[in-house]
């Protein structure tokens, strides 16, 4: 389910507010704190995977307070009562919340607008998909290169299911080795390598997050917890400081936070997943082959994946990446955002402009010092010897029937397009035949389920 929290109205004047959306024992997300005299607009999107009919979604609105944030109201929604397979807009008045945190039956004047998109997936028994899965991971990868060329941007969300299938079939390395080679071979401008949101970049980006989630949590999770607990003031913009705040002390606070975080990342090279090592090693040697006079091309692409697409987003959205499971206050959000920006500059081998961001030029020396350690960290990751003897198969708990069901729906919805692209291709032709058959079986199963639940 995708939830978009749009805006809030009619809350108490002159206050900063934020919203928290949660499903018990699954996930909790928080919007940024925002100030607005009459209304605030977030339009923030959150994904709740694998929801069930018994789940309950709760959205709470909070006013930021110095000691403890005040809950202004809440709305609960039973998943079983939601509209399926259609993006649905809601505008509701929040219920009051009692002191014991229980939601009252009385409504407030506070209005919340949001949208949800709850998608239903009906699955057959996993063995029904066996032939389809084998065709998808065919070593020639004809289907993959067809998708790489023709997939629309709005369909990129199915890429994660393709990745799951390849990992489940123990073919992920074959897939990504081929995608890396294909992407580098067709690249005319090295500066753009893996910097666009195409099939190859999205697939590799998801795979790194998929196999690297535990590494991410163990590397930066403890330090994010410390930042939240210590509540150090790291604000460096003079206009945002009150008269009693010492800018020098704030800079020292940020330096301490940044050094601890970057040192933790650089010291974690022994714990880097073996999948990272072999793929980045292959990326580096393939880039060197195609761009022999540009030794920095491969390293720049690796920096992009490791930092711009892995560590930096997790610092910006710690709850979404599973490195922190509670809400974050405005001070912590500001500190993590500044830290993410500094690490982004370090990865890009750039610095803050003295003219455009004069309050941040103080960080440049820190970035310069960290950049030296960055090169050693990356060189150790791509060292083939450090990855020798490691098992490359992630072996997570992949529900491959769910992934196959999503792909069947995708191919069925785009069947005419695929037929026109390569009508005589034997592999694609057989896939579409299977998709037609599996779709009919799915519709029959769905009908049977509807009859059982209605009776």
Over the chain, what is the mean pLDDT? 87
Give, as one character, the DSSP assignment of residue 389. Answer: T
Give percent above pLDDT 70 in the chain.
Answer: 95
Same domain, 267 and 323: yes
Whether residue 182 is contained in a domain is answered as no
Whether residue 438 is contained in a domain is answered as yes
Does the pLDDT at position 149 exceed 80? yes
Same domain, 19 and 113: yes
Count: domains in the chain: 3
Same domain, 30 and 78: yes
Does the pLDDT at position 420 exceed 50? yes
Domain boundary among 357, 387, 417: 387
Of 367, 371, 362, 333, nearest to 251 by C-alpha is 362
Kindly report, residue by residue over 271-315, the tens digit of the pLDDT.
999 999 999 999 999 999 988 888 788 888 898 899 989 999 999
Query: 288: exposed, middle or buried (C-beta count within 10 Å: 0-12, 13-18, 19+)?
Result: middle
Whether 320 and 29 have beta carbons less than 8 Å apart is answered as yes
Domain boundary among 351, 370, 387: 387
Same domain, 153 and 230: no
Query: For the residues 42-65, what does the mean pLDDT come to?
Result: 89
**Alpha helices in 212-329, H assignment, sequence order:** 213-230, 247-266, 274-290, 296-303, 312-316
Distances (CA, A) of 200 to 35, 185, 368: 40, 13, 31
Least confident stretch, 145-159, 375-389, 406-420: 375-389
Same domain, 104 and 248: no
Whether residue 259 is contained in a domain is answered as yes
Strands 16-23 and 34-35: what pairing? antiparallel
Same domain, 354 and 432: no
Whether 173 and 392 have beta carbons less than 8 Å apart is answered as yes
Whether 38 and 47 have beta carbons less than 8 Å apart is answered as no
| Higher local confidence (pLDDT), 364 or 326 | 364
Whether residue 200 is contained in a domain is answered as no
| Higher local confidence (pLDDT), 67 or 140 | 140
CA distance 199 to 175: 12
**pLDDT band for position 452 (cuts 50, 70, 90):** very low
| Higher local confidence (pLDDT), 248 or 244 | 248
Highest mean pLDDT: which range of 7-16, 175-184, 223-232, 243-252: 175-184
Q: For position 357, which CATH number holds?
A: 1.10.506.10
CA distance 119 to 257: 41
Same domain, 266 and 132: no
Query: For the residues 313-321, what does the mean pLDDT come to?
Result: 87
Same domain, 256 and 326: yes
Domain boundary among 67, 82, 117: 117
Kindly report, residue by residue over 247-262, the tens digit of the pLDDT.
889 889 999 999 999 9
Does the pLDDT at position 455 exceed 70? no
Whether residue 187 is contained in a domain is answered as no
Whether residue 373 is contained in a domain is answered as yes
Same domain, 340 and 447: no
Same domain, 240 and 367: yes
Whether 370 and 348 have beta carbons less than 8 Å apart is answered as no
CA distance 290 to 303: 19
- pLDDT on residue 77: 94
Same domain, 100 and 140: no
Instruction: Please spell the DSSP secondary structure of 10-35, one letter per residue.
Output: SPPSS-EEEEEEEETTTEEEEPPPEE
Question: What is the domain extent for residue 349?
Answer: 212-387
Whether residue 199 is contained in a domain is answered as no
Whether residue 436 is contained in a domain is answered as yes
Of 347, 340, 344, nearest to 314 by C-alpha is 340
CA distance 135 to 47: 30
Query: For the residues 400-419, what does the mean pLDDT come to?
Result: 92
Kindly give the interhelix angle for 364-381 and 330-348, rounded to the nearest 10 degrees.
70
Same domain, 294 and 373: yes
Of 336, 138, 308, 95, nearest to 235 by C-alpha is 336
């Amino acid at each position: 389910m995708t939830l978009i929290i749009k805006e809030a109205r009619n809350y108490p004047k002159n206050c900063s507010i934020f919203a928290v959306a949660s499903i018990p024992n699954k996930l909790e997300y928080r919007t940024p704190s925002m100030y607005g005299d009459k209304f605030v607009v977030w339009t923030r999107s959150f994904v709740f995977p694998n929801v069930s009919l018994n789940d309950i979604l709760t959205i709470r609105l909070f006013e930021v307070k110095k000691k403890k944030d005040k809950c202004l109201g809440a709305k609960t929604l039973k998943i079983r009562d939601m509209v399926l397979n259609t993006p649905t807009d809601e505008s509701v008045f929040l219920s009051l919340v009692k002191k014991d945190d229980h939601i009252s039956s009385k409504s407030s004047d506070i209005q919340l607008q949001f949208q949800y998109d709850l998608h239903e997936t009906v699955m057959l028994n996993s063995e029904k998909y066996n032939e389809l899965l084998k065709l998808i991971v065919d070593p020639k990868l004809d289907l993959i290169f067809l998708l790489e060329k023709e997939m629309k941007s709005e369909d990129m969300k199915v890429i994660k299911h393709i990745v799951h299938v390849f990992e489940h079939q123990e073919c992920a390395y074959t897939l990504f080795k081929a995608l890396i080679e294909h992407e580098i071979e067709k690249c005319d401008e090295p500066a753009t390598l893996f910097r666009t949101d195409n099939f190859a970049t999205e697939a590799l980006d998801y795979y790194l997050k998929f196999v690297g989630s535990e590494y991410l949590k163990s590397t930066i999770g403890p330090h994010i917890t410390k930042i939240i607990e210590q509540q150090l003031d790291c604000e460096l913009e003079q206009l945002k400081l009150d008269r009693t705040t010492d800018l020098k002390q704030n800079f020292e606070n940020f330096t301490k936070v940044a050094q601890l975080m970057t040192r933790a990342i650089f010291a974690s090279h022994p714990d880097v997943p073996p999948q990272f090592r072999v793929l980045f090693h292959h990326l580096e040697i393939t880039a060197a082959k195609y761009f022999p006079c540009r030794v920095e091309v491969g390293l720049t692409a690796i920096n992009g994946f490791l930092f711009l697409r892995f560590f930096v987003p997790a610092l910006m959205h710690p709850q979404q990446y599973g490195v922190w499971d509670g809400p974050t206050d405005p001070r912590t959000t500001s500190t993590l955002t500044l830290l993410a920006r500094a690490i982004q500059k370090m990865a890009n081998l750039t610095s803050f402009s003295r003219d455009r961001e004069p309050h941040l030029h103080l960080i440049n020396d820190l970035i310069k010092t960290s950049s030296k350690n960055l090169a050693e960290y990356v060189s150790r990751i791509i060292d083939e010897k450090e990855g020798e003897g490691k098992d490359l198969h992630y072996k997570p708990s992949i529900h491959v029937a769910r992934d196959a069901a999503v792909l069947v729906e995708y191919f069925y919805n785009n069947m005419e397009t695929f037929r026109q692209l390569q009508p005589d291709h034997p592999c694609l032709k057989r896939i579409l035949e299977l998709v037609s058959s599996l779709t009919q079986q799915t519709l029959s199963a769905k009908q049977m389920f509807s009859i059982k639940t209605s009776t």
